[in-house]
Structure 1
């Protein structure tokens, strides 16, 4: 598909990447979203908590939302998406990844950028217990990478799945890590590492034989965390093996469901390899939009909704 031209042109301050990112992540508030929690059991004995928002009228379509690293269903970008999609006639299933719903998950392993088995379980649950004619996916950052990998790695995609949208996607995980470890992103990296280490210490109390104090003390960077925990807990040799196997870039050519990727040109989390220009040009199903502005999951917009929240409604309606 040809690359899509973007008309996103925010107010001056929201053209600054860090302001846009920080506003969306910590300042923006979304009110008026009611969520009803549903717990599903996973094949390995763990669980996921799904937070549903419902359209005011009986809906024949549903959208599944997937959050980013250390996010949850109550983040503003998840609530804003749920609110606008419910207004447009979708029921919305906001997935909390393992350990992200306010209570620890049961297993030593948790979630990561390529954990598509859990997405398969969510879709299987919806298809077999609900009555939707159309299902859509929308993922942010880590969740965007996960959904792209799911769509392209050969899973039996439900016939109800009609389209997907991925926002601020680190399509090449090692490239994104390089950006996160650079000075320009030091404050974000510190915050991510702090949250991840808190969860790892909680894991240690339950699984003391699997993680030691010495292991935790060795975590100085996000890559260290992936070397010591993420890769080992999920069956990868090390961090680089995890990044290589789970980066969605390699799976884009196999995607057959209409899919829109929106990555801002000024996203400080993304390096050059995270903009799959040639892959989109060669694909019949993958659309790529690269707005000049937006930061990382920023995209400020008028009337209380971001540009990508409005864009999702338009894209899904046009399929």
Structure 2
């Protein structure tokens, strides 16, 4: 296992995408377990999906910070694509740990709205990298660790499973995947050139309460509640490595505390302090099985009536452009370096989601 070389308690931590699904839950976890801590969150609160969910997540953070007066929570509404804003945040707050979770998500949306992916995922991430680079100016200690979100989408149509970070990932099947692979390449270049310790995390199908409505489990629930028909792609022959949000956050927190070591190569230049990890459940589930568990838990939570006719509201359809039939994370490196493997069962995770949905919407 890697040794912890960054104590998060007492640190100033910048979390981008702080109103997002992973970002908000990470902020909550840091406040609960690492106080006193100074967290700066930035999010543009765009309307890609229901903004009221983002506002709910922020309200949960406000409730939690009230219980921990020794910690500081500062929220800034804005875009990481705004270079002046990012530079000002780094100048004013001098974060020592940066977690970049701000990004335009979604495979299918990238086909119809490519501009926002270039703006947020490429320009925005470039701004973060440049700010990290200049955090060392004038002898400053600067950023001790940059952690950033990548995605299982970078594996594209790889036939070899489970997906390993050692696999070649040069054949993306969506612009979203291409931007995420670009993030990894950009981070590697900056780690090499400027000795910035950076770790990329390839997330696998994250789900849970107050998640993203564009994800299958949430979209299915909305449609079933409205009496609409849900479409199950690839005729149900898809498998996804569903990973519960609490497991993702625990993995991110552990990674934050272990920055890649700086070293000098034979050429006298930095050996890039750079790592990539998968964070997934290491247990892909068939989509039809997933839907079956979801419907059981929605009935159990009282979201749907016990006599709901699922067969009448279910349609098997072909694969969509940009999608892949299987996602399956090889998490051996995560287990080896951090002693951690996601463990929340699909039923347990979907039960918590169904209970939250009932409380939030009904």
TM above 0.5: no
- Where on the TM-score scale, by shorter chain, does this alignment land: which range? 0.3 to 0.5
- Which one has the largest radius of gyration? 2
Structure with larger RCO (C-alpha < 8 A, sep 6+): 1
Q: TM-score, normalised by structure 2?
A: 0.32
Q: TM-score, normalised by structure 1?
A: 0.36
